[in-house]
């Protein structure tokens, strides 16, 4: 495995433009090695969200436009029956997750998600729509409860819905409390509570359908297993949208999860990919990369001259 420090030693003497060129070559070489070793197609979707904490860009999230990148990384070559989808993302919109997975499902009979470190929120949704997930000790999924944008901030749809229900219940018991709740409820846009409830149902029902159709299809009682797992991931017991859900917890919810460490050579290649894109996001203005073994690469963000 090319560790973070090993890669940096090779990058340090290069100027930013040559660094990107070097990393692109290494990405292509490593992805082709994985594809040929497993006889899978490979797509690596990676975001620089860990490096953009102080100055986030909406493009770091999974957005509908990303579908074009996935199309670019599938077209113009003989498609194999299986896809290995490597994910590193903070998540994004439910609609984007549905579009991306729907497209990939139309192309491939079997999809295996690999999570080097983080596949959160809508990234978790995509992983749950695959046939199997590969995770390391450091890997994590996250809750799939949707977030509602209000102004420049996002709020849990659970919080919006439950706060409204709390207000309604307390006011019904004691009408004088309407004066206490009025300032908070006044901040709710028209139909906000209904939108929050619909988003919660949409997230849970989408994940439940994917699990029943794909990961749990050969199990006894797939509908029951899918309902339980979807309810857990979309539920409001996590207390934080960023809460870590590791592979042991995922297995407790009956997900098909393999250990990344089971295949040492494969683990080395996956983590090399992760370290490579970490350097891209740390040293340049790129926000996101989508790379396929067909030679396609999509860079989101301004490339250096």
pLDDT tens readout for residues 181-222? 777 666 665 566 767 777 778 888 999 999 999 999 999 999
- CB-side exposure of 190: number of CA atoms within 13 Å? 0
**Lookup: tokens for 283:** 């040293």
Q: Are 146 and 205 in contact (CB under 8 A)?
A: no
Q: Does 150 score more than 60 pLDDT?
A: no
- CB-side exposure of 85: number of CA atoms within 13 Å? 28
For the stretch 243-260, pLDDT in tens is 889 999 999 999 999 999
Domain 4-142+244-300 part of CATH 3.90.226: yes
For the stretch 82-112, pLDDT in tens is 999 999 999 888 889 999 999 999 999 999 9
> pTM of the entire structure?
0.85
Q: Between the CA of residue 13 and those of 9, 16, 124, 251, what are the distances in Å?
A: 8, 10, 37, 44
């Amino acid at each position: 495995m090319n560790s973070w420090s090993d890669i940096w030693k090779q990058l340090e003497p290069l100027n930013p433009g040559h660094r990107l060129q070097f990393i692109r070559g290494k990405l292509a070489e490593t992805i082709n090695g994985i594809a040929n070793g497993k006889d899978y197609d490979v797509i690596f979707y990676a975001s620089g969200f860990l490096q953009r904490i102080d100055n986030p860009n909406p493009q770091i999230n999974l957005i509908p436009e990303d579908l074009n990148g996935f199309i670019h990384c599938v077209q113009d070559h003989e498609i194999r029956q299986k896809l290995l989808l490597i994910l590193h993302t903070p998540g994004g919109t439910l609609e984007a997750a549905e579009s991306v997975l729907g497209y990939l499902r139309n192309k491939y009979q079997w999809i295996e998600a690999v999570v080097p470190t983080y596949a959160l929120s809508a990234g978790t949704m995509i992983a749950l729509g695959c046939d199997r997930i590969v995770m390391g000790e450091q890997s994590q999924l996250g809750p799939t409860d949707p977030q509602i944008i209000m102004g420049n901030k996002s709020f849990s749809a659970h919080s919006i819905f439950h706060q409204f229900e709390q207000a309604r219940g307390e006011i019904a018991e004691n009408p004088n409390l309407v004066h206490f709740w009025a300032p908070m409820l006044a901040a709710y846009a028209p139909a906000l509570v209904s939108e929050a409830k619909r988003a919660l149902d949409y997230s849970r029902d989408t994940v439940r359908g994917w699990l029943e159709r794909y990961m749990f299809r050969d199990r006894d009682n797939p509908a029951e297993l899918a309902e339980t797992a979807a309810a857990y991931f979309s539920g409001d017991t996590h207390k934080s949208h960023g809460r870590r859900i590791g592979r042991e917890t995922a297995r407790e919810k009956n997900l098909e999860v393999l250990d990344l460490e089971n295949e040492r050579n494969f683990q080395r290649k996956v983590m090399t990919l992760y370290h490579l894109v970490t350097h891209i996001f740390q040293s340049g203005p790129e926000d996101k990369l989508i790379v396929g073994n067909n030679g396609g690469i999509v860079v989101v963000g301004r490339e250096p001259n």
